[in-house]
Chain A
Amino acid sequence: MHRLAQVSVEIIDQCVAQGVPFAREYGGLLDTRSFGGAQVQRTFYARGQTGQQLLLGAYQALERQIGLGNVEMNSRHEMLELVIVDGKARGIVVRDLVTGEISTEMADAVVLASGGYGNVFYLSTNAKGCNVTATWRAHRKGAYFANPCYTQIHPTCIPVSGDHQSKLTLMSESLRNDGRVWVPKAEGDDRSPKDIPEDERDYYLERIYPSFGNLVPRDIASRAAKAVCDQGRGVGPTKLGVYLDFADAINRLGRQAIEAKYGNLFEMYERITGEDPYEVPMRIYPAVHYTMGGLWVDYDLQSTIPGLFVIGEANFSDHGANRLGASALMQGLADGYFVLPSTLANYLASGPLEKVDASHPEAVAARADVEDRIGRLLAVNGDRTVDSFHRELGQIMWEHCGMERSEAGLRKAIDEIRALRDQFWQRVRVSGDGEGLNQSLEKAGRVADFFELAELMCIDALHREESCGGHFRAEHQTPDGEAQRDDERFAYVAAWEYTGTGEPSVLHKEDLKFEYVHPSQRSYK
């Protein structure tokens, strides 16, 4: 945390130097704004595209290195296995997604930057390609998986419109700076929003949390939305939605000011829903957005396997049980630009490592495992598609390991996941063969790993008998429905060790020591 705070300033300097077009004030200096969970304006931004622009900055810097011949890029390749030699990470097995060729790359160290696993829920705001395979394969080879149950559900997403839904779109958090969240006071009020008078509206975040209002942290805003919908006060065709209304802001600041700030988001919303948010309040509902859990790493970002480093959303570091807005990008950039270059160099300097090549028995075995798995997936030739299994798995997870978890629900989920996983291996149909581009095969391998991860997430959620951040256990809440922590028993990172398929994972605890600031019951009232 301390280190992250220190280098965060340099991140902005670095990105500005690369040409990332952050928003500017009229004086030409960088502009800031407030973001969920913070009452001060302290977040630098690039309209609604901050992440995209930071990514492009990093991509351009990488392309420069490729042009200079320092980096060799293999796009459209997927890592499917980790190679360990003498206890150290020494390579990976990849499949060329275009030709289907399996190959082994040997190295002195391996860095995983493979992102989060939110797509275990099938529907999430993540890109469709996000998956857990890289980190899960490493976990199976001995890297501990930390806090898998910590997932962030983002409050401002466009609601699901039907069974065909393939992903959910986030409406940037920044919208909560100017939008006001409300639902009708009465249950089952079917009137159009403009026919509902002011005094029949419940601006519930402003009512319950007067000091933070619409800017309460994500988990609180999400759970509050679920609560009002559970009370039958949800809006829109599915009744799983709340209004995010810009009428006041438009009156106060003018349409132009709102357009300048959020124009692209409003357009995006209109394209998806067919409704104009300048005229009709937006409808939003929470959706899975970010996974705080990931492979356990030490201060050097090294996992429990020497030589395996994990950066960005793929590791568990920095965010605890709940991430605040804007800090994922900060962490990812800090890891990649400022931390890893020193720690990785340090590891390499401790060498020299023994020379190994792809003919090493461990490498040959890892490759054979990959080929065998692909063969098994193709051989089932059943009667259900990969997506149909993925959707069903997602529903189980959303229902029982989503915004609110309970002992009974989690136990049920574990049974259901195991049963569905068995079905998957008996009934899945993967079309085509292992040669060439085969998107159905790619998805099948990823969903197979999601099944295993899903079970561990539920086990982790079950063992953590407290509520904290994104993990809300129904049994552990204060009388007014807030998260009830139990720091006596649970002030630790839960790092799980894989011990074999069907064997229970072993829990390792890393105690959390708070020297300066002590955790306490949060209050946003």
Chain B
Amino acid sequence: MNLTLRIWRQSDPTDKGRMVTYPVDDVSPDMSFLEMLDVLNERLILAGEEPVAFDHDCREGICGACGMMINGNAHGPQRGTTACQLHMRQFSDGETIDIEPWRARAFPVIKDLVVNRGAFDKIVAAGGYITAPTGSAPEAHSTPVAKANADAAFESAACIGCGACVAACPNGSGMLFTAAKVTQLSLLPQGQPERYTRVIGMVDAHDEAGFGGCTNAGECTVVCPKGIPLNTIGRLNGDYLKATAKRGDTPGT
């Protein structure tokens, strides 16, 4: 198939950036979206032009590196699919495809389609863990976990930190990402001791890192490649309320 790509080119964080049009011929429907970009890049290099920079690593939907807006959709048109898992059979011959980086205040563009998602790390560093000094862990079987809770925790643990939820959110909020981690850890007995300090730490770090507030727009869960459900945010809010009440705060301040 033959395609026209319109790709965001931005040489560095200070560059204003622009869309540039590239025709790409002989695309096989069996190619992944990133393989199609590889083909373009090989041609650009031989033509003496700068290849398009994009992040990727695992190319199988587990590392979260490859996010990009494809025709205005985070990770493209197929639900539950990262850009690296998207295959060209989802597109038709002759189509024009717009490709842009995540756009969010907390994720500044580094170059072309590459953004800095380091703000997520800051949220995790502020509480997205269970304190368990190495060597002091109790025998794993000493605390059973009800299968239903274990399964629900697992569902939330599937988040790959890709940032699609942020890119799709009209407010640039990182609440789904934060809520996924809060939910996973607060469903497990091991996560109870830090349950309330965790949620406050993470939400504060989220706000400080420049993410917007959540207004329940629900776009995040639609684009999430791992199907993290919106009710995790409800759970986070519940924990946050209890936590601030414990701390004697007025909620929302």
Contacts and interface: CB of A to CB of B under 8 A. Distances in A.
Contacts of B134: 14, 337-338, 341
Contacts of A29: 141, 144
Contacts of A440: 45, 51
A361 B21 CA distance: 50
Contact of A26 (B114, B139, B147): B147
Interface stretch (B99-107, B150-158, B213-221, B242-250): B150-158
A388 B44 CA distance: 14
Interface stretch (A63-71, A177-185, A194-202, A205-213): A63-71
Interface stretch (B1-9, B78-86, B171-179, B230-238): B78-86
A167 B39 contact: no
Nearest to B129: A60
Contact of A162 (B31, B114, B129): B31
Interface residues of B, number: 73
B147 A432 contact: no
A18 B29 CA distance: 42
B60 A268 contact: yes
B17 interface: no
B135 interface: yes
B147 A272 contact: no
A17 interface: yes
B128 A164 contact: no
Contacts of A271: 78, 81, 85-87
A64 B185 CA distance: 14
A49 B62 contact: yes
Interface stretch (A51-59, A140-148, A447-455, A500-508): A51-59
Interface centre among B45, B46, B144 (most CB of A within 10 A): B45
Nearest to A438: B53
Interface in A361-409: 383, 385, 387-388
Interface in A421-477: 429, 431-432, 436-437, 439-440
Nearest to B112: A437
A257 interface: no
Contacts of B42: 385, 387-388
A171 B159 CA distance: 20
B85 A431 contact: no
Interface in A19-64: 19-30, 46-47, 49, 52-53, 56, 59-61, 63-64
Nearest to B26: A164
B20 interface: no
B89 interface: yes
Contact of B35 (A166, A170, A267, A388): A166
B111 interface: yes
A380 B220 CA distance: 46
Interface string B127-149: 01111101101111101111100
Contact of A63 (B46, B85, B124, B157): B124
Given A21-B154, A23-B150, A431-B51, A66 B121 contact: yes
Given A14-B137, A52-B62, A19 B85 contact: no
A127 B125 contact: no
Nearest to B34: A166
A256 interface: no
Contact of A437 (B30, B111, B157, B160): B111
Interface residues of A, number: 65
Interface in B36-81: 36, 38-39, 42, 44-46, 48-51, 53, 56-63, 78, 80-81
A16 interface: yes
Contact of B140 (A30, A75, A127): A30
A274 interface: yes
B92 interface: no
B246 to A, nearest CB: 21
Nearest to A69: B125
Nearest to A260: B151
A12 interface: yes
Contact of B30 (A20, A161, A337): A161
A18 B85 contact: no
Contacts of A431: 44-45, 48-51
A129 interface: yes
B87 A272 contact: yes
A16 B140 contact: yes
A187 B50 CA distance: 48
A10 interface: yes
A346 interface: no
A271 B86 CA distance: 7
B229 interface: no
User: Most chain-B CB neighbours within 10 Å: which of A30, A66, A437?
Assistant: A437
Nearest to A46: B154
A348 interface: no
B160 to A, nearest CB: 8
A164 B38 contact: yes
A341 to B, nearest CB: 7
Given A13-B140, A272-B85, A66 B63 contact: no
A127 B57 contact: yes
Given A29-B141, A63-B129, A436-B111, 14 more contacts: A16-B140, A17-B137, A21-B153, A21-B154, A28-B150, A30-B141, A63-B124, A161-B28, A162-B31, A164-B35, A170-B60, A274-B29, A387-B42, A436-B12
24 contacts: A10-B135, A14-B134, A21-B150, A21-B188, A22-B150, A29-B141, A60-B130, A63-B125, A64-B131, A67-B125, A73-B121, A127-B59, A129-B57, A162-B30, A164-B28, A167-B59, A271-B85, A272-B32, A272-B85, A274-B29, A385-B45, A387-B38, A431-B51, A437-B111
The 8 closest A-B pairs by CB, nearest first: A28-B144, A67-B125, A60-B129, A17-B137, A17-B132, A16-B140, A24-B150, A13-B137
